Structure 1
Amino acid sequence: MGGQPEILGNVMVWLDEAGQMALGWLTSPAAWSQFALLVVAFLAARVIAAKATRAVTKFVTPAEDKTGMIASLRRFSLRFLPLLLPLIAYGLTALGEAFTRSMFGSGDVIAFGKRLFIFIAARLFVEKVLTDGFLRLLGKYVLIPVAALYALGVLDLIMVKLEEAQIVLGNIQFSVMALIRGVIAGAILFWMGSWSNRQSADYIKSQKELRPATRELAVKATEILIFGAAFLLLMSIMGIDLTAIAVLGGALGVGIGLGLQQIAANFISGIILLVEGQTTVGDYVELDGGEKGTIVKMTARACILETFDGKWIVVPNEHFITSRVVNYSDAGSANRYEAEFSVSYNTDINRIPEIVEKAVAALPFVLEKPDGPDCELTGFGESSVDFVLEYWVNGIDDGKNKYRSPVLFAIWNALKAEGIEMPFPQRVVHLKQAHE
């Protein structure tokens, strides 16, 4: 066995010592008395926990019709009731350990039982209390194994060994224990950050008195603050000198200067858009490049436009700063549109404006202010007299013929009712006979 790994040799030594200890417990009267105390403590804990559970349930449970944060917290606290039994047993066992050590000078058996109750509490906590999938996974593969090692009395020894093992990355040096601690703490911190970010975002977005741009800016600022604080706290937990981050910051600055200019420009442009509030979520915009749609989301890098047919267009924030943007929603809720039509040359065109304006004004979505329907003569075509009807509506015509189609139907029906012809192209052809 001389060539076996050191860790395997340590495990064999520990197993041998555990066997000797177990054998000593089985043959020691003091150990048997401690076993008896453990049984008494467990039975007493069951009686106390049962009565305490009934009393706490009756006192804490809110009425079925109660809602709100306080009622939710009271219902949530009831999930911890299964922990009463092992925790009460732990307390009673701790008292028994103090008694046996004062009487017999030994308490190893009852100390093991005390640690065993902590392991049981950890298992119940994971199985009965935790409902989030990530936290339950973390409890199953981290909390329960740690509690098991603690119950066996080898947790401190393993932590010392992991603390002695060092990892060196350039100027940064940390132990394996620090790495494990960092991974666990990082998972918990960023889960808490994600949860708190969702809660704060929901709260900020519910503040309807704030402008949409202000709400978006507050959400982004809160997100940066939460995850920035989580990152700095994680570095501190891992024992990494924060001055080493300055090297990373310098490298990042060089990267931005050389290859990340567009990303940085879009990020800064996004902040400018949120601060100014000239363009925000819900606005219908049209860019010089032809992109147009309703802004449904603003991120740190781009704005997402939704077209009338449900397509999403991702437009970098920089385009909203460096190019011309037509915002149909920013100037006000009323917008003007036009509908072209033509009539025959045989028509008394002086009657047309009154007929068409009256028909279109009867449509429920056509506004009287800032101006009612206005029919104007635009020209004399080859086969028809051309008109255009201008009308105002409360909203954006973000789809094909959303307003235009009903207006054209109204014009058609009104002209037909008056017997006015809407012509089709006509040509006059002259035939010349050849002279013989």
Structure 2
Amino acid sequence: MNDLMNTVLGYVMPVYEIALAWIIDPANWVQFALLVVAYVAAVFITRKLNPRLIKALTPAADSQTALSKARRFVLIFMPLVLPLLAFALTAIGEQVTRSVFGAGEVIAFGKRVFLFLAVRAFVRDMLSDPLLKLIGKTVLIPLAAVYALGFLDPVILWLGATTVPLGNMSFSLLGLLRFAVVATIMFWLGRWSNDQSSALIEKQDMPPATRQLAVKAAEIAIFGAAFLVAMNIAGVPLTSLAVLTGALGVGIGFGLQKIASNFVSGVILLLEGQATVGDYVELDGGEAGTIVKMTARAAILETFDGKWIVVPNEDFIVTRVINYSDSGSANRYEVTFSVSYDTDINLIPGIIEPAVSALDFVLDAPHKPDVELDNFGDSGIDFIVEFWVEGIDDGQFKYRSHVRFAVWNALKDAGIEIPFPQRVLHVKGGLPVGAPE
């Protein structure tokens, strides 16, 4: 028991002596006091400054100018004002204590804690993407915590000495972590830049196909540049990606033929404008609907009943597609009807054509409604009324139903009978004896 107590005291006494020396050292008390003063001053300044900054940086709700967007971007960084201001004030205090007492370990620790709080606020309040937030929580915050505790240098040495072999290439754990940190920041900035560029391109006066191609090109350029910058900063040699690029090319050549074909077909569609968002198309297989979205791989059609059909881009190139051009084009439709044989058919065009022309969706150009004699049917005389509308009859009788109502009402008002199927039976040899007449 005595030996155990002596061993414990051998460990405790040095710690006790260090703690006692630290407590009775006036320089440490001054550093702690400056640390508290710096934090209190940062809180006071932030409470006074933040409302004024928010008021000055908040643009009008309907303003979409470049300056307004820049001001909204700056507002995103408001959660960092308090910890960064405390960090700056603490750094000034550290310079004072080191010049006066020649020591500043306590206030330097507080400065690192404030930087840790800034990193935590960045991950918690500024990162909205789930993947970026996960990287921030698993990489950025632990690194900031290690730095705050003062163990960053030995941890960096250990991470740099630990390598992960990957075929002919090898990466250190430090390089992987550096890449994750840089990629988190670069791709967050890339996402914001992509949103801004997409909104700017959408406002330009250009064909929809060209606009979508410009959006996709800007997205590829922004994230491609972010990836290259992240690889360069992380210290990953780009020449080492040659093997990966070659393997990817082989994979596309053998296993990803359809994906590559659909991607190229999508680019062709965007360039030529054969089909774009807003067009009503009918495919060779019978699928029909309005194109509501075009991606790098497929187009999404929305049918009249709200169903979505995913159609590979290749189908628009290699098969027959009927494009009704729903975006601002006139289309002709027809409705059939019949009248009885007792009707003066010469009166029909003068009755039906004005009734159909009175409908607000029927156009006078390129042609006014036209009534044509179609056939002499079994029960009546068949007519067709042709009319032009702006858009597509993409629903079940979207326009035809209104036209049929107009035809019915016009014929009823004119006293013209709409026939129904009738049959006349001739019995050879007369009726059987005793049969009722």
2:101 paired residue number: 100
Of residues 243, 262, 266, the one that matches 2:262 is 266
Partners of 1:282 and 1:294 within 8 A in 2: yes
Partners of 2:333 and 2:387 within 8 A in 1: yes
For the pair 1:366 / 2:362, whether they are aligned, the reply is yes
For the pair 1:173 / 2:163, whether they are aligned, the reply is no
Name the CA shift for 1:21/1:222 in 2 (closer, same or farther; >3 Å). farther
Name the CA shift for 1:59/1:429 in 2 (closer, same or farther; >3 Å). closer
Partners of 2:77 and 2:126 within 8 A in 1: no
| TM-score, normalised via structure 2 length | 0.85
Number of equivalent positions? 412
For 1:177, what is the secondary structure of its paired residue? helix
Partners of 1:375 and 1:390 within 8 A in 2: yes
1:153 paired residue number: 150
Name the CA shift for 1:426/1:414 in 2 (closer, same or farther; >3 Å). same
Distance across 1 between alignment mates of 2:319 and 2:159: 58
Distance across 2 between alignment mates of 1:177 and 1:433: 108
Cα deviation 1:337-379 (Å, max 9, x = unaligned): 0001111111111111111111111111111111111000011
Distance across 2 between alignment mates of 1:412 and 1:245: 73
For the pair 1:56 / 2:31, whether they are aligned, the reply is no
1:187 paired residue number: 184
For the pair 1:88 / 2:83, whether they are aligned, the reply is no
2:300 paired residue number: 304
For 2:293, what is the secondary structure of its paired residue? strand
For the pair 1:346 / 2:342, whether they are aligned, the reply is yes
Which 4+ residue blocks in structure 1 deviate beyond 6 angstroms?
A: 16-19
What amino acid sits opposite 1:226 in the alignment?
I
For the pair 1:210 / 2:203, whether they are aligned, the reply is no
Q: Which moved more, 1:217-226 or 1:73-82?
A: 73-82
What amino acid sits opposite 2:108 in the alignment?
K
What amino acid sits opposite 1:56 in the alignment?
L
Partners of 1:90 and 1:117 within 8 A in 2: yes
Residues 179-258 of structure 1 correspond to what in structure 2 (within 5 A)?
Answer: 179-207=176-204, 209-258=205-254
Distance across 2 between alignment mates of 1:296 and 1:402: 19
Q: Which moved more, 1:274-283 or 1:296-305?
A: 274-283
Deviation of 1:330 after TM superposition, in Å, equals 6.9
Name the CA shift for 1:284/1:169 in 2 (closer, same or farther; >3 Å). same
Of residues 110, 117, 127, the one that matches 1:132 is 127
Q: Which moved more, 1:128-137 or 1:143-152?
A: 128-137
Unaligned runs of at least 5 residues, structure 1: 1-15, 102-106
For 2:426, what is the secondary structure of its paired residue? coil
2:290 paired residue number: 294
Q: Which moved more, 1:301-310 or 1:57-66?
A: 57-66
Distance across 1 between alignment mates of 2:219 and 2:192: 11
Partners of 1:94 and 1:114 within 8 A in 2: no
Name the CA shift for 1:21/1:196 in 2 (closer, same or farther; >3 Å). farther
Deviation of 1:166 after TM superposition, in Å, equals 1.2
Residues 309-328 of structure 1 correspond to what in structure 2 (within 5 A)?
Answer: 309-328=305-324
Partners of 1:373 and 1:389 within 8 A in 2: yes
What amino acid sits opposite 1:88 in the alignment?
L
Name the CA shift for 1:41/1:139 in 2 (closer, same or farther; >3 Å). farther
1:10 paired residue number: none
Cα deviation 1:377-399 (Å, max 9, x = unaligned): 01111221111000011111111
Cα deviation 1:311-353 (Å, max 9, x = unaligned): 1111111111122222111795211100011111111111111
1:337 paired residue number: 333
Partners of 2:263 and 2:296 within 8 A in 1: yes
Name the CA shift for 1:18/1:309 in 2 (closer, same or farther; >3 Å). farther
Name the CA shift for 1:167/1:201 in 2 (closer, same or farther; >3 Å). same
2:117 paired residue number: 123
Name the CA shift for 1:294/1:141 in 2 (closer, same or farther; >3 Å). same
Distance across 1 between alignment mates of 2:96 and 2:247: 58
Deviation of 1:281 after TM superposition, in Å, equals 0.5
Partners of 2:57 and 2:74 within 8 A in 1: no
What amino acid sits opposite 1:375 in the alignment?
V
For 2:286, what is the secondary structure of its paired residue? coil
Name the CA shift for 1:280/1:188 in 2 (closer, same or farther; >3 Å). same
Q: Which moved more, 1:188-197 or 1:346-355?
A: 188-197
Q: Which moved more, 1:307-316 or 1:195-204?
A: 195-204
Deviation of 1:70 after TM superposition, in Å, equals 6.0
For 1:388, what is the secondary structure of its paired residue? strand
Partners of 1:62 and 1:71 within 8 A in 2: no
Partners of 2:293 and 2:299 within 8 A in 1: yes
Partners of 1:278 and 1:330 within 8 A in 2: no
Deviation of 1:88 after TM superposition, in Å, equals 0.7
Deviation of 1:222 after TM superposition, in Å, equals 1.4
Deviation of 1:406 after TM superposition, in Å, equals 0.6
2:29 paired residue number: 36
Deviation of 1:231 after TM superposition, in Å, equals 2.6
Partners of 2:374 and 2:384 within 8 A in 1: yes
Distance across 2 between alignment mates of 1:256 and 1:268: 12
Partners of 1:186 and 1:234 within 8 A in 2: yes
Distance across 1 between alignment mates of 2:296 and 2:320: 20
Distance across 1 between alignment mates of 2:58 and 2:148: 44
For 2:299, what is the secondary structure of its paired residue? strand
Distance across 2 between alignment mates of 1:252 and 1:308: 41
For 1:383, what is the secondary structure of its paired residue? coil
Identity fraction in percent: 50
Name the CA shift for 1:231/1:46 in 2 (closer, same or farther; >3 Å). closer
